[in-house]
């Protein structure tokens, strides 16, 4: 049976921290679906089509990685994709509380679906999409922190670098 994992998030934009989790997940599962959400509590810089495109470009070397967008409950999307696993990255202890809450709620909604956590690589633990946007906006160097294809997109969108 094909083992499919879903890695959900807002990816505004994808960072090398996300990419590291995606690649390591692809080494474990037959297929990885990177599922891009629209979080109503966040002001997105890039629209969802742009966020999906950036991830597609960054993962184009991997046949087993698919990029998709979803609305509504993550659990419903997982069932629709016939995937059994949610993957989340953990950067620091501060991520734990929110992740614990989400994983517990998802388990309550469907006890057959498992959430697994992957430690973010040490060199990326301080990264987030919003810190990348901020540094880029203020003209700081984000080389090596996001996939190469993301840099011109950020430059175009908010200037910087």
| Inter-residue contact 16 to 147 (CB < 8 Å) | yes
Least separation, in Å, of the C-beta of 7 and ligand COA?
A: 9
Of residues 125 through 154, those in contact with ligand COA by CB under 6 A are: 127-130
Crossing angle of helices 150-158 and 48-58, in 10° steps, is 150
67 binds ligand COA (CB under 6 A): no
51 binds ligand COA (CB under 6 A): no
Of 9-17, 49-57, 135-143, 147-155, the segment contacting ligand COA by CB under 6 A is 9-17
DSSP bridge pairs for 119: 90
Least separation, in Å, of the C-beta of 127 and ligand COA?
A: 4
- Given 28, 30, 96, 105, the residue binding ligand COA (CB under 6 A): 105
Question: Residue 114: left (phi > 0), alpha (psi -120 to 50), or beta?
Answer: beta
Residue 18 is a catalytic residue: yes
Give the whole-angstrom CA distance, residue 147 versus residue 124.
13
89 binds ligand COA (CB under 6 A): yes
Give the whole-angstrom CA distance, residue 29 versus residue 131.
30
Least separation, in Å, of the C-beta of 52 and ligand COA?
A: 13
Choosing from 10, 37, 51, 129, which is the catalytic residue?
Answer: 129
25 binds ligand COA (CB under 6 A): no
| Inter-residue contact 118 to 99 (CB < 8 Å) | no
Give the whole-angstrom CA distance, residue 140 versus residue 84.
40
DSSP bridge pairs for 9: 36
Which residues form the catalytic set? 18, 42, 91, 129
Residues that bind ligand COA (CB under 6 A): 8-10, 12, 15, 17-18, 21, 37, 39, 73-74, 89, 91, 102, 105-106, 120, 124, 127-130
């Amino acid at each position: 049976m094909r083992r499919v994992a879903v890695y959900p998030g807002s990816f505004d934009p994808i960072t090398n921290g996300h990419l590291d989790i995606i690649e390591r997940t692809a080494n474990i599962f037959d297929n990885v679906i990177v599922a891009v959400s629209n979080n109503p509590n966040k002001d997105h810089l890039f629209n969802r089509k742009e966020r999906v495109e950036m991830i597609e470009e960054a993962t184009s070397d991997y046949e087993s990685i698919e990029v998709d967008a979803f609305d509504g409950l993550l659990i419903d999307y997982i069932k629709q994709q016939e995937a059994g696993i949610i993957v989340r990255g953990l950067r620091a202890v501060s991520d734990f509380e929110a992740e614990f809450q989400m994983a517990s709620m998802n388990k309550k909604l469907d006890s057959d679906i498992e959430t697994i956590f992957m430690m973010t690589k040490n060199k990326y633990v301080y990264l987030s999409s919003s810190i990348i946007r901020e540094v880029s906006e203020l003209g700081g160097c984000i080389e090596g922190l996001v996939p190469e294809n993301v840099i011109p997109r950020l430059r175009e969108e908010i200037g910087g670098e």
